[in-house]
Amino acid sequence: MIKPPHARFVMAIACLIGLFASAYLLYTYVTGAPIRCGIVSGCELVRASRWAYTFGIPRPLLGLVFYAALFGLLVIRAAIAWKPRLLHRLTMLAAVIGFIESAFLFFVQWLDIKAFCLWCLISAVSATVIALLAPFDQSEKTDVVSTNQELKKYFIALLIFLPLAFLGFVALLLK
Per DSSP, the three-state class of 58 is strand
Fold (CATH) for 4-174: de novo design (two linked rop proteins) (1.20.1440)
Q: What is the DSSP letter of 135?
A: G
Percentage of the chain surpassing pLDDT 70? 96
- pLDDT confidence bin for 140, thresholds 50/70/90: low
Higher-confidence position of 92 and 146: 92
Q: What is the mean pLDDT of residues 3-32?
A: 96
CA torsion, points 130, 49, 46, 13, in degrees to nearest 10? -20
Is residue 22 within 8 Å of 63, Cβ to Cβ? yes
Strand partners, 58: 53
Indicate if the pLDDT at residue 28 is higher than 70: yes
Domain ranges of the chain: 4-174
Separation in Å, CA 46 to CA 63, 80, 102, 117, 136 = 15, 40, 14, 6, 34
What's the confidence (pLDDT) of residue 115? Answer: 95
Q: What is the mean pLDDT of residues 124-130?
A: 98
- pTM given for the model: 0.94
Closest Cα partner for 8 from 96, 78, 110, 87?
A: 78
Q: Please compute Rg for the chain using Cα positions.
A: 17
What's the confidence (pLDDT) of residue 82? Answer: 82
- pLDDT confidence bin for 142, thresholds 50/70/90: low
